[in-house]
Structure 1
Amino acid sequence: MAGFRLCTSAIILIHCGLCFVLSEGRPHIIFIIADDLGWNDVSFHGSNQIFTPNLDALAYNGIILNSHYVQSMGTPSRAALFTGKYPTKLVAESRTLPEAKILPQYFKEMGYLTYLIGKWDLGHSRWNATPTFRGFDHHFGYLNEYTSYYDYLSTWTFNGKDYTGFDLRKDRDPSWETVGKYATDAFTEYATNVIQGHDPTKPLFLMMSHLAVHRGNEGKPLEAPQEAVNKFKHIADANRRTYAAMVSKLDDSVGTIVQALTSKDMLRNSIVVFISDNGAPSVGHLRNWGSNYPLRGVKDTLFEGGVRSAAFVWSPLLVQPGRVSNDLIHVTDWLPTLFQAAGGDAGSLDLDIDGIDQWASLVYDFSSPRSDILLNIDEKTRIASLRLSNWKLIVGSSNNGSYNGYFGEAVLTNIREPGYDFSAVYNSQTGQNIRNTSYSPIEIDDYSRIRNRATIRCAPNGEKNPCDPSVSPVCLYDIPSDPCEENDLAKFFPSVVRRLKRSMVEYRKDLLPQFEQVSDIERADPKLFEYVWNPWLD
């Protein structure tokens, strides 16, 4: 009978949560994606180098997701987010999503007004592959992987030849009038205008898919207003200083958006999600001087530094906020989770999705229903990784193992170490607005406890058993006790290795083979479209 009472209580709680959604109206959903942000580049993870008070205020008053996983690259992470499926199931031509219902279309069917601000990067060979044809009412942003922060030019090099074009649009039209305005500010201004002009009785789905903190074109890879750079004189490395300013402008953006939601009385019925699409490329291709410290690896690796994402969720709907969750959650989970949070009918979701509804787990601090995550299987490079409970198996290595080390500490050299200011978080724009909602905020005295729990520390010094997957057949790690992946346990737990390999074999059955991507750059050349990146197959 005890079990029955527990189940009944859970049903009542979930039912009451649904009643709140129905009585208040569907919640507004603000989904913020940072691009190539390092684990250690938000101060709620324990670093004092880059102060992010607005992000920290939301994180401390919400749930910090310390085991949130994404794909190791931005495009597959976005594909997984929009479809709710592992990218191994998706075959995309010209980096275009398959013709299936995706996240904004589900919300549009529920009566949401849907906006994408910033990056798309999921195909634009034809107009029907672009955001306003895939469920977004409006798009203000760019179509490629990145663009520059002031002039909005995107340059791609093929066979030694550069192809440069303008890449910023309002819906289908180039937004020439935005040239000269810093991208993070431009996106934030557009978002606040949307919120200020929105009817609060209608549900809003707003995705802020930031350019920050992805690097730009060769020659000017990092860009930020000088007044923002000047705040980081304590950072010795000039590139890292500019990167810190880019992060700071991202944090300012979050504060401004929260302020806009408060002024429209929308914050009290909102869900705010913040994630990074992958780890920082501390070294190598498209380096941005971000830091994944103390995690191993960088973007485009299957080590934690590549696939473990800084993330949190905040909402007055959370019954148990002010905590750090170490439960497994994957980027595919946001589709069913937010769909459930909005009162959607779970039976209408694609039955083949890999995402798991985590809403009840988040709201009431129930155990997560997720026990494993397929991090990747790449049949061409023969690399793969799987997280199962506390275990993680890695097979093979990308980039010949050149990014498998620890790179996050190299950029942490300071002229002087600034202290962490809890009162500045409490009194930040976001902190003040949270206290002005009808929901009881977390007290400042609890911030230190939450921050300490969100800070990852490597295993105590002692015997280490390193593993290089470019040399060893497999590497096996117990992630909760060894988050820095220093101690390979494969030879000590062969039965665990076999179990994870069997799981990979099962996942491989759903794998759709990749096909050779043929460059269409000559037809897509912006000079054919008045030097604008444009759909070229229509």
Structure 2
Amino acid sequence: MFRSIDESCHKMFHNTSPSKILFSFIWGTFVCLQLAADAASDNNDKQQQPNIVFILADDYGWNDAGFHGSKQVYTPVLDEMASEGLILNNYYTLPMCTPSRAALMTVFQNVWDVRRRKYVGVVNELDTAIEQIVNKLQSKGELDNTIIVFSTDNGGAANGFDNNWGNNFPLRSGKGYFYEGGTRGVAFVHGTMFQNRAGQVSTELIHITDWLPTLYEAAGGDLRYVSDLGSYSVLDVLTGKNLTSPRSEVLVNLNPYSTAKGIKVGRYKYMRHPEDNTDGSYDSWYQAPGPLPFSNETMVPNTTSSQVYCGDIPSNVNFSCYSEKSGIDECFYDLEVDPCEFYNLIDNPDYDSERQKVMDRLAYWESIQVEPIYPPVDPEADPVNFGYVWNPWTNDPRIPPNTVNSHSSKCPGGKGNTCDEM
């Protein structure tokens, strides 16, 4: 039965029309996991298959978790779960909500800024809601047989971006940008399956796309049928069976309609126009507001084992992502020694060899990229027509079209400046 189930899942992901692939990927992830578990149950496997609870927090910032060292955000449940599980400290998402979701399938008075205070209150409510889920699993006797994954979908929307006040400090920037604040995500796993690594902090490279094969394998699925999705099962890494991640690189983004692109290979990261389609106004480092008016939260080193601490922002920090040699908005960082992306090494000759290796990998991904469907804007799809809810709006089989529409170009107009050298 496993074979027939696995083949069905394989077909779901590979024999799907372009107009249905997004829906199938989101829905199919969890359906295939359930089918794998059902098949194992029907097969009378001796080992009971696990429940899987995946919590995806929207725009959740790196510095919005107590286990990352924040003394401002109250997350006792998440902190306890993280300490009992395995914290993923080298975990990456996409810089925006939609691609990450597709790839996956109390007010406090110690914050003077009311906007940030409201955000902190919402985070505490999230923590309380997760506590309710955990308590219910416990009362049903299911907690010990449950895998819980906590992940953000991208970095926090910081300093008013999207009218939001998440915080990623000391990581640079946030949602919508290719910098670490936008793509390095908060995540941990919890469950008896990971007891050999309980209380540890993982630095093995993991990407949000790796959850599908990882959880599929954890549910009893045959990895042969999901082996060509471009992602990896990291179950052995999470359980401690093998501490070497099968992943060595993360494609941050590759925008075919502009020159914005980014990739992380090993310890090195290259970006070109990391602001992508934003206006570039939120590319700095943003400390969380502190307890007194116009003060900032004080970062204390070694607060937690998963904290990133870079000290004060250097006076000689290079704010620009720009190369004097090429005249292009591009930057290159060694994240192992500079996780906060203070020092742009793009023109440093000492890194020519490493930079070329990274560029070669980027060129590979560009060579196999499939041009995306880019249909024209249809005013009938406006959420205002559906009570301000995104909703299916047409049964027209031609939507989206089979080819890129004629008005598309390699450099459409937009708020960003990502086409200035074309």
Sort the TM-score into its range (normalised by shorter chain): 0.7 to 0.9
Q: Which residue of 1 aligns with 2:254?
A: 377
Specify which structure has the higher proportion of strand: 1
The whole-number CA distance in structure 2 between the counterparts of 1:525 and 1:397 is 29
The whole-number CA distance in structure 1 between the counterparts of 2:85 and 2:167 is 24
Q: How does 1:314-353 map to 2 (within 5 A)?
A: 314-318=190-194, 319-349=196-226, 351-353=227-229
Q: Does 1:404 align with 2:283?
A: yes
The whole-number CA distance in structure 2 between the counterparts of 1:257 and 1:68 is 24
Residues 525, 506 of structure 1: alpha-carbon distance in 2 compared, 3 angstrom cutoff? closer
How big is the shift at 1:480? Answer: 1.9
The whole-number CA distance in structure 1 between the counterparts of 2:377 and 2:161 is 20
Q: Does 1:500 align with 2:358?
A: yes
Q: Which residue of 1 aligns with 2:119?
A: 243
Query: In the alignment, residue 468 of structure 1 is paired with which amino acid?
Result: S
Paired residue secondary structure (1:376):
strand
Q: Which residue of 1 aligns with 2:305?
A: 453
* Contact 2:323–2:331 (Cα < 8 Å) also in 1: no
The whole-number CA distance in structure 1 between the counterparts of 2:333 and 2:76 is 33
Q: What is the aligned residue count? A: 341
Q: Does 1:537 align with 2:394?
A: yes
TM-score scaled to structure 2, two decimals?
0.75
The whole-number CA distance in structure 2 between the counterparts of 1:293 and 1:76 is 23
> Where do 5+ consecutive residues of structure 1 fail to align?
1-17, 83-227, 420-447
Q: Which residue of 2 aligns with 1:282?
A: 158
Paired residue secondary structure (2:151):
strand
* Contact 2:291–2:297 (Cα < 8 Å) also in 1: no
Question: Which of the numbers 332, 338, 342 marks the counterpart of 1:486?
Answer: 342
Q: Which residue of 2 aligns with 1:118?
A: none
Residues 406, 417 of structure 1: alpha-carbon distance in 2 compared, 3 angstrom cutoff? closer
Q: Which residue of 2 aligns with 1:102?
A: none
How big is the shift at 1:514? Answer: 3.6
How big is the shift at 1:535? Answer: 2.3
Q: Does 1:354 align with 2:230?
A: yes
Query: In the alignment, residue 98 of structure 2 is paired with which amino acid?
Result: T
Paired residue secondary structure (1:454):
coil
Paired residue secondary structure (2:163):
coil
* Contact 1:475–1:488 (Cα < 8 Å) also in 2: yes
Residues 62, 307 of structure 1: alpha-carbon distance in 2 compared, 3 angstrom cutoff? same
Query: In the alignment, residue 236 of structure 2 is paired with which amino acid?
Result: A
How big is the shift at 1:488? Answer: 2.0
Q: Deviations over 1:430-468 (max 9, x none)?
A: xxxxxxxxxxxxxxxxxx98x622010116887855252
Residues 336, 65 of structure 1: alpha-carbon distance in 2 compared, 3 angstrom cutoff? same
Q: Which residue of 2 aligns with 1:147?
A: none
Q: How does 1:9-28 map to 2 (within 5 A)?
A: 22-28=45-51
How big is the shift at 1:326? Answer: 1.1
How big is the shift at 1:533? Answer: 5.3
The whole-number CA distance in structure 1 between the counterparts of 2:311 and 2:268 is 16
The whole-number CA distance in structure 1 between the counterparts of 2:384 and 2:312 is 54
Q: Does 1:52 align with 2:75?
A: yes
Q: Deviations over 1:105-154 (max 9, x none)?
A: xxxxxxxxxxxxxxxxxxxxxxxxxxxxxxxxxxxxxxxxxxxxxxxxxx
How big is the shift at 1:283? Answer: 3.5
Q: Deviations over 1:301-344 (max 9, x none)?
A: 00000001111011111122110111110001000111111111
Residues 498, 48 of structure 1: alpha-carbon distance in 2 compared, 3 angstrom cutoff? same
* Contact 2:331–2:345 (Cα < 8 Å) also in 1: yes
The whole-number CA distance in structure 1 between the counterparts of 2:393 and 2:313 is 56
Aligned-residue RMSD, C-alpha: 2.8
The whole-number CA distance in structure 1 between the counterparts of 2:345 and 2:388 is 54
Question: Which of the numbers 269, 276, 290 marks the counterpart of 1:392?
Answer: 269
Q: Which residue of 1 aligns with 2:420?
A: none
Residues 531, 317 of structure 1: alpha-carbon distance in 2 compared, 3 angstrom cutoff? closer
The whole-number CA distance in structure 1 between the counterparts of 2:388 and 2:334 is 51
* Contact 1:48–1:417 (Cα < 8 Å) also in 2: no
> Where do 5+ consecutive residues of structure 2 fail to align?
1-39, 396-422
Greater RCO between the two (CA within 8 Å, min separation 6)?
1
Query: In the alignment, residue 208 of structure 2 is paired with which amino acid?
Result: V
- Same amino acid, percent of matched pairs: 36
Question: Which of the numbers 27, 52, 60 marks the counterpart of 1:29?
Answer: 52
